[in-house]
Structure 1
Amino acid sequence: MTLGQKIAWDDTILPFQLDTADIRGRVARLDGVLDGILKQHDYPMQVEALIAEMALLTALIGQAIKLRWKLSLQVQSRGPVRMIATDYYGPSAEGEPARMRAYASFDRARLSDARPFDHLGEGYFAVLIDQGEGTTPYQGITPIAGSALRHCAEAYFAQSEQLPTRFALSFGKSTEAGGIEHWRAGGVMLQHMPKASPFATGGGSGEGGLLAARDIVGGADAENWSRANLLLDTVEDLELIGPSVAPTDLLVRLFHEEGPRVFDLQAVRFGCTCSEERVRNSLSIYSARDIQTMTTADGIVTADCQFCGAHYRLDPATVGFDAPEGSGDGD
């Protein structure tokens, strides 16, 4: 396969259900999406790896949101990598692709040869869901825990949703003929179906007293969950990333005795929502005097999108709340 050849399941998310175990899940494969995200910046390898993992988690979690909703994952840290932010935009209509974007903020001077996750210090992992205009966004936060971002996501679902959740992820650079490198990522998410039973209370048995799966499910549910996790433990990195193993074949290989049932494949693409209009709206809270302090020696106001790298150049006389109405039209 060459870089220009796209595999049918690249940049897709496949939802499924294990009927005999009362477990749902998703399989994700990212290729062009990661390239679209990472080529916008000259990120060091450690930062690229964290963004790749965060983007994969975002795709796996985001597939469940409704049309036109937005899911955001964020990490805020006191470590060398200060922040990672990802957005997943639900399709605008049935059959349309979802869109994703991501970026990171970091202190290059503090980076080291340590593992990527070790560049996160004390901080938190947050999940935000925006259902659109006129609604109050949902936000759930859990401390950074474990030894990977997937552990943070698992801890979030245990604390905030009380749903046992497990991720198996693989990501890295693939070298094609001619020495061309590009990122690939793949993963599986398992999640126990919600129950009507009362939520667990008190401290958990996980790191720092966080809840773990064993604190939430018991009896036959615990046995089913344990068995599905043991089966997932047999997955290999090449099976997760592909390109030779289709997601449906992977599910049959792992869970054929659990009765896997698949649903419609969801395509995902790199996409940013920035625009000149949004930049103007963000500047509309400033006075002419404030705008003057933002004006360059060349007499313009500039703004860069941290997600896609788009560069905007605006006439200072047309932005801010003192600007004549309609002065920005047609710029």
Structure 2
Amino acid sequence: MTSQTETQSRSPAAHAVDDRVTPFHVDALDVRGRLVRLGTSLDAVLAHHDYPAPVKRLLGEAVALTVLLGSTLKISGRFILQTRTDGPVDLLVVDFSAPQDVRAYARFDADKLAEMQKGLAAGAGFDSGALLGHGHLAMTIDQGLSVNRYQGVVALEGEGLEAAAHQYFAQSEQIPTRVRLAVAEEVRPGGAASSWRAGGLMVQFLPTEGGRVRPADLHPGDAPEGTEIPEAVEDDAWVETQSLIGTLEDIELVDADLSSERLLFRLFHERGVRVFDAESVVAKCSCSRERVVGVLGSFSREERESLVEDGKVSVTCEFCGRTYDFKAEEIVGGDEPEAEAGA
């Protein structure tokens, strides 16, 4: 692969390599971005829970988006995406630990989900906005106890994760950004278990010359009727970039026979695209017996006593489904242990 310190021409890979994030630059358009393709890692995340297909698809989008954003971290730390909404899927949590580990889970209301699916017209497509409903999405960068957390929060108003990502960058980063997400179930013949694939593309306009990025002014609010709302004039290079991204189809993001390099070449071959070393993605939970003890140690004695059933305390990790059993005296007895960072 081409490193970021040297440039060379080579033929693109013939087939997709899953569970990789591929950074790229299009110098002629002053854009850079990342392309993620997920296969076995997404299956591993989803395998821990018996989610219905729409929930798997939504969580797959959230995992792809989190990996796109979290893999940009150049430091040791965690990038956490979390939604809280009033829709059928009222909670999503995706935790990416740099440089490559990801885990995720979703909480959903089966009755609400069934009612929503019943109300859909025959043949209606997947609607992540309807599954989420209204609420908020938080993106958190956690670099450990010695550094304050950074968190950006955007409203979810019946739209999907792509729209939320665009709002986040416009509101918090003020960087022109476009995100595309796609998830598909690969049905295997003969009744074999199906598998899931996800793909995501993030492109940002980052010109070196000052003044080329002109974010739109804030809406004036209750301005008098007839007040002209100023519009930011977009740079021609960014307009062209958005047009090219608009040609991208979902199937291209999840096609196992289309490599990341060939997909980027399809999009940007007229302008020239530089592709850098791909970064791995691994489904891995960071829970452990010691971390669970640390979390329980942050509870009061009364709270710990309330967890005891039949002389023991059982804790199940929401991410991987692993259960940790403790004798009651291990958790309740003695002084309160010093709390450790969350599991």
TM bucket normalised to smaller: 0.7 to 0.9
2: CA distance between counterparts of 1:204 and 1:167?
27
Q: Partners of 2:138 and 2:299 in 1: how far apart?
A: 30
How far did residue 18 of structure 1 move?
A: 0.9
- The answer on 1:267 being equivalent to 2:283 is no
Of residues 49, 60, 73, the one that matches 1:65 is 73
Q: Given that residues 78 and 121 in structure 1 are in contact (C-alpha distance below 8 angstroms), is that contact kept between their aligned partners in structure 2? A: yes
Cα shift readout 1:95-114 (whole Å, capped 9, x = no counterpart): xxx01111111211211215
Structure 2 residue matching 1:202: 3-state secondary structure:
coil
| Among 276, 301, 314, the residue aligned to 2:326 | 314
| Structure 1 match to 2:180 | 168
Other-structure match for 1:24: 32
Query: TM-score scaled to structure 2, two decimals?
Result: 0.81
Cross-structure match for 2:227: none
What does the per-residue CA deviation read over 1:246-280, in whole Å, with 9 as the maximum and x for residues that have no partner? 11111111101222111110000101111111111
2:218 to 181, 202, 206: 202
Aligned length, in residue pairs: 302
Q: Which amino acid aligns with 2:219?
A: G
Q: What are the Cα deviations for residues 217-261 of structure 1, in whole angstroms up to 9, with x where unaligned?
A: x45xx2111111111222233321121111111111110122211
Q: 1:295 aligns with which of 301, 308, 311?
A: 308
Q: Give the secondary-structure state (helix, strand or coil) at the position aligned to 1:239.
A: helix
Where do 1:130-279 residues align within 5 Å? 130-145=142-157, 147-180=159-192, 181-193=194-206, 197=211, 200-203=216-219, 218=233, 222-279=235-292
Cα 1:204–1:171 shift into 2, 3 Å: farther
SS in 1 for 2:37: strand
For 1:260 and 1:138, the matched residues in 2 are separated by 32
Aligned to 1:209: none
The structure-2 alpha-carbon separation of the partners of 1:131 and 1:48, relative to structure 1 and needing over 3 Å to count, comes to: same
How many Å apart are 1:325 and its aligned residue? 7.2
DSSP-derived class of the 1:258 partner: coil
Aligned residue among 108, 111, 117 for 1:109: 111
Report the 3-state secondary structure (helix = DSSP H, G, I; strand = E; otherwise coil) of the residue aligned with 1:20.
helix
Secondary structure at the counterpart of residue 41 of structure 2 = helix
Flag the 1:254–1:285 CA change in 2: closer, same or farther, 3 A.
closer
* 1:126 Cα deviation after fit: 1.2
CA distance in 2, matches of 1:28, 1:259: 20
SS at match of 1:203: coil
Is residue 2:68 matched to residue 1:56? no
One-letter identity of the residue aligned with 2:101:
R
Q: Is the 8 A contact 1:145 1:151 kept in 2?
A: no
Match of 2:102 among 100, 103, 112: 100
Whole-Å separation in 2 of the counterparts to 1:252 and 1:61: 22
* Preserved contact between residue 75 and residue 84 of structure 1 (Cα < 8 Å): yes
Q: Distance in 2 between matches of 1:283 and 1:136?
A: 23
Report the Cα distance in structure 2 between the residues aligned to 1:10 and 1:62, rounded to whole angstroms: 17
CA shift in 2, pair 1:18/1:320, >3 Å = farther
Contact 1:20 1:259 in 2 (8 A): yes
Q: Is the 8 A contact 2:132 2:160 kept in 1?
A: no
Partner of 1:94: none
2:57 pairs with 1:38: no
The aligned runs of 1:72-87 (5 Å cut-off) are 72-87=80-95
Deviations 1:114-139 (A, max 9, x none): 53430222211111001223000100
- The one-letter amino acid of 1:160's match is S
- In structure 2, how many angstroms separate the alpha carbons of the residues matched to 1:172 and 1:47? 12
Amino acid paired to 1:107: D
